[in-house]
Each structure stands twice: as C-alpha cells, then as structure tokens.
Amino acid sequence: MGSPMGYVEHGQPPNLAAHILVAAGPLFINTSTAFVLSTWLAFQDVTWERLTVPQIFVGWGAISFAMHAFPSQEDARNVWNAVWRGNHSFFMQVIGIPLAGLMFLISFSTFFFSDVAYAGLVLVVPSLIVSATY
C-alpha cells in the first residue's frame, strides 16, 4: 500500500509551475471536496439527537478531507529544490520561493494542530453561510 499509507509517488514534473501544482493540488482538491460535503451537511437538519449514519459518514469525510489538505514537508522541499534547480524565469522564482516557504510553514504548523483547526473552519463556514442566507 505504500509507506506511509496514502503516499503518492509520481514522476518528475517538467517545470516549476507543474511542481507547484502537484504540491498545492491536494490543498485545492481536498478543500473543495470538504467544502462540498460540509455544505451538504449544512442543508441537513443535523442535531446530536437526530444524527443519521449518512450524516456521520459525510461529516467524517469532510473533516478527513480538510485535515489532509495541507502540503507535506516533502512537497514543500520538492518545490524549494525545483526553484533553485534548472532555468526558470525570474517571475517563476519570485512566485516559487514564497510559495515554497509558505508550504514549509503550513506543513510545520500541523505540529500545533492547525490541520484540525482548518478542518473545523471548513466544516463550520458552510453552516454559517447557509444559516445567514436561509
């Protein structure tokens, strides 16, 4: 199954932009998926007394997707190395260096449970939007 579980191995991206997209892809895809699941929950009449099995699974999925959205340290390291390796335009380096630094910061912040806080935020925001509009 891989080490660690869920680890994805892929080929070398052809350029810096592709490196950035590969590293940031899970952030966009997982956040979008978690947001859609959380929005579905927000339209349900979810209470602890009337919690259904599908609502539990959808909520668990939303939290799980959101908690695993952050780039890994390996992804940040790959982007950092890609910035300094090869011939990239000045513009791509100006974008790549801060993004790699931000990816490192985000991956290190998980030590302080920022991924849990992020999952809570992604779970709560759709409920706030739905309750404000309906």
Q: In degrees to the nearest 10, what's the CA dihedral of 109, 9, 87, 17?
A: -60
- Segments making up each domain of the chain, as ranges: 16-133
Task: With H, G, I as helix, E, B as strand and everything else as coil, classify residue 106.
Answer: helix
pLDDT band per the 50, 70, 90 thresholds, residue 11: confident
- Whether the CB-CB separation of 92 and 17 falls below 8 Å is answered with yes
Task: With H, G, I as helix, E, B as strand and everything else as coil, classify residue 68.
Answer: coil
- Whether the CB-CB separation of 28 and 122 falls below 8 Å is answered with no
pLDDT band per the 50, 70, 90 thresholds, residue 6: low
Per-residue pLDDT at 56: 93
Look over the chain and give the mean of its residue pLDDT values, rounded to a whole number.
Answer: 88
* Number of residues that this document lists for the chain: 134
Return the number of other C-beta atoms located less than 10 Å from residue 119's C-beta.
23
Does the structure show a pLDDT above 80 at 2?
Answer: no
The DSSP line for 60-104 is HHHHHHHHT-SPPHHHHHHHHHHHHSS---HHHHHHHHHHHHHHH
Give 48-66 pLDDT, tens digit per residue: 788 899 999 999 999 999 9
pTM score, whole prediction: 0.82
Does the structure show a pLDDT above 90 at 45?
Answer: no
- Mean per-residue pLDDT for 93-112? 90
DSSP 8-class letter at 109: H
